[in-house]
Amino acid sequence: MAQCDGGGQLRNALVGTLAGLSLGSALRRAQAETGLETVDIRILFCHALGLSRVQLITGSEQKIPALQAEHLAELLCRRLTGEPIAYIVGTREFYGLALQVSPDVLIPRPETELLVELAIERLPRGGRMLDLGTGSGAIALAIAHARPDARMTALDCSAAAIEVARANALANDVKAKFLVSDWYEAVAGERFDLVVSNPPYIAANDPHLMQGDLRFEPVDALTDHGDGLGALRHIVAGAQACLEPGGWLLMEHGYDQANAVLGMLSAAGFASVRSWRDIAGIERVSGGCNAL
């Protein structure tokens, strides 16, 4: 795969190559010159040229103006550095919603939809739900969109993340209350029927933090800077004080953390403790019912 250089030589070469070509020819040349995945190139072409996927196919003879070729070359070079597609185009689809994303928030991932589905099943009619560490608002908004009868509160310690979440709520016409908070702090004394969280759960020494998309995502949203279980412990410890009797706590966690999380929940006195597997067959979500 080609690499973008600091002097912009590849970028300039791409501009010269793509300007004036038809879309069909430009797609083939871009792949040959960069070695990027075809799906990535198509997404970047659509974004840079303001085209839908259908228009990209049906307009294959359309010529690319020089100005648009410059924009396209810049996006291709950003992808060559490893920058995630979601950050480059500024959006990611999650549970049927188009969500704005930025380097201030994690990129929503398909495996997290399991947490959404489990929450929707356990949220009573007109119930109150709390999302801890909401980031882009993906989990809270997906649940609130599917269950408009629910009353949704979502918290994050990052003011920048809360602004992204609020923008996503507005763009998707979903009602939710977003507050800057250090975990449960902003809702002390309140009670909820359901608490969900996708907290930082990667251990500080995990090599994955330096690989792929994770290199570009906010580190404080990925790791607790410890063993990866610190945030999960904190959530479990404070959950029963804000859960109604019979209310559920559901948490996403790492591929090898299910047993540890189940142990925390059982030790705290939760009932019906169990884990659920994601689309890859990995135990991805664990939870329990407040028996107090």
Contact 83, 107 (CB under 8 A): no
Identify the pLDDT of residue 60: 87
Identify the pLDDT of residue 11: 87
Identify the pLDDT of residue 6: 55
Q: Give residue-wise pLDDT tens across range 111-132.
A: 999 999 999 999 999 999 999 9
Detail the DSSP E strand segments found in 163-237: 177-180, 192-197
Q: Give residue-wise pLDDT tens across range 187-242.
A: 999 999 999 999 999 999 999 999 999 999 999 999 999 999 999 999 999 999 99
Q: How far apart are CA 185 and CA 153, in angstroms?
A: 13
Q: What is the pTM for the complete model shown?
A: 0.93
* Sign (positive or negative) of CA dihedral 101, 137, 178, 229: negative
Judged by DSSP in three states, 30 sits in helix
Q: How far apart are CA 112 and CA 249, in angstroms?
A: 15
Look at residues 115, 101, 132 and name the one whose alpha carbon lies nearest to residue 233. Answer: 132
* pLDDT band at residue 292 under the 50/70/90 scheme: confident
Among the residue ranges 16-20, 182-186, 197-201, 287-291, the one predicted with the least confidence is 16-20
Q: Is the pLDDT of residue 267 over 90?
A: yes
Q: Is the pLDDT of residue 5 over 90?
A: no
Q: How far apart are CA 177 and CA 165, in angstroms?
A: 10
How far is the first Cα of the chain from the last one, in angstroms, to the nearest whole number? Answer: 57
Q: Is the pLDDT of residue 4 over 80?
A: no
Domain ranges of the chain: 9-81, 107-289
Side chain identity at residue 147, one-letter code: R
Q: Give residue-wise pLDDT tens across range 57-94.
A: 898 899 999 999 999 999 999 999 999 999 999 999 99
Contact 251, 199 (CB under 8 A): yes
In this structure, what token pair is assigned to residue 159? 């003011």
Look at residues 51, 32, 84 and name the one whose alpha carbon lies nearest to residue 42. Answer: 51
Identify the pLDDT of residue 288: 98
Contact 112, 138 (CB under 8 A): yes
- Looking at residue 112, what DSSP letter applies? G
CATH class, domain 107-289, is alpha beta
